Amino acid sequence: MDPADCIISVLGAPASGKGTLCKKLIQDPRFNGRLHHVSVGDLLRGMPSGPDINGHIAAGTVLPGNELVPILRAHLDSLPRSSSEKKIVLLDGFPRSLEQEAAARNVMVSAGSEEFPDLVVYFSCPKEVLRDRYVARKRGKDDGRLFEKRYEQHEKECPRVVEKYKSKGVLVEVDSSGSIDESFKALVGVLETFLEA
């Protein structure tokens, strides 16, 4: 078992840029290979057997924490450490609900903290921009109905998670409504400040 030294939760609505910006971050030489990007959705969809993630998306529900947390914990522990550098995990899309947050609190703590997570980055973006992005990346295969369902699920659960982390002083908001380069610059600034502290 090799726990992460630091866990950064990355939250935001569908099409807010979580996956795109996290993938760009791990390739940035300024972070010297220390960052690991774990997309919770991609992890679950890639499992040969396990929770029915697509069923939950179709039903507009969130996967229960007691099903999800053990999978995440095992995956995080299995991530390799880059030489003597700290292992920093960007946990993309978790937790999505207060129930998931409670399930993770005592199980997912990093080696460098007694709290989960060490930092929360929330990408804020207007719904109209999110919808346009979502429909565009589906290349005409989705007329926006699935976006509306996913956005409704996000609005039902995530704001309470955001408020909790804001009250604990571990949340930083990044405006991701602009271009990828503008959003990335803001995100890098947040991470550099946090990691240098």
pLDDT single digits (tens) 134-181: 988 876 566 688 889 889 989 999 999 999 999 999 999 999 999 999
Q: What is the pTM of this model?
A: 0.89
**For the chain, what are the domain ranges?**
6-196
Task: Give the model's pLDDT for residue 113.
Answer: 82
Rounded to the nearest 5°, which phi and psi values hold at 108? -105, 10
Task: Give the model's pLDDT for residue 59.
Answer: 64
Gap between the Cα atoms of 25 and 37, Å rounded: 9
- Residue-averaged pLDDT of the chain: 87
- Is pLDDT of 57 > 60? no
Rounded to the nearest 5°, which phi and psi values hold at 123? -85, 115
DSSP 81: P
User: Per CATH, the architecture of 6-196 is what?
Assistant: 3-Layer(aba) Sandwich (3.40)
Gap between the Cα atoms of 95 and 4, Å rounded: 17
Gap between the Cα atoms of 183 and 63, Å rounded: 29
